[in-house]
Amino acid sequence: MLLLNCISVLACNTRKDIDTMANICAICNKRPQVANLVSNANNKVKRWVYPNVHVMRFRLKGQTEVHRGAVCTKCVKAGKVEKVI
């Protein structure tokens, strides 16, 4: 029974039009990084820093094809993609 639930969850979460990698920009390949969280006592703890990524419909600059994927806000602000509604 547990195996059937796992298979159904995986089948429900697969999307063909969106890249399966989480938190990775489709334009610049910006991805999560590991950073140190440093306390006042100079203790260092590893933590993840995630990029500001949003799933949207976009058009690459100078092209007419509309794509759907995760794009970081730095690429949107820089004008590398046009947001399509």
Estimate to the nearest angstrom the gap between the alpha carbon of 28 and the chain centroid: 11
pLDDT top residue among 43 and 6: 43
Joined tokens for residue 17: 């039009």
Q: How many domains are contained in the chain?
A: 1
Residue 11 clears pLDDT 50, i.e. is over it: no
Residue 62 covered by a domain:
yes
pTM above 0.95, yes or no: no
pLDDT for the residue numbered 29: 94
Q: Which residues contact 67 (CB under 8 A, 6 or more apart)?
A: 26, 57, 58, 59, 60
- What's the CATH number where 44 sits? 2.30.170.40
pLDDT for the residue numbered 85: 83
Q: Round to whole Å and give the CA distance between 63 and 43.
A: 49
Using one digit for the tens of pLDDT, what is the confidence trace for 50-74?
Answer: 999 999 999 998 899 999 999 999 9
Using one digit for the tens of pLDDT, what is the confidence trace for 73-82?
Answer: 999 999 999 9
Residue 9 covered by a domain:
no
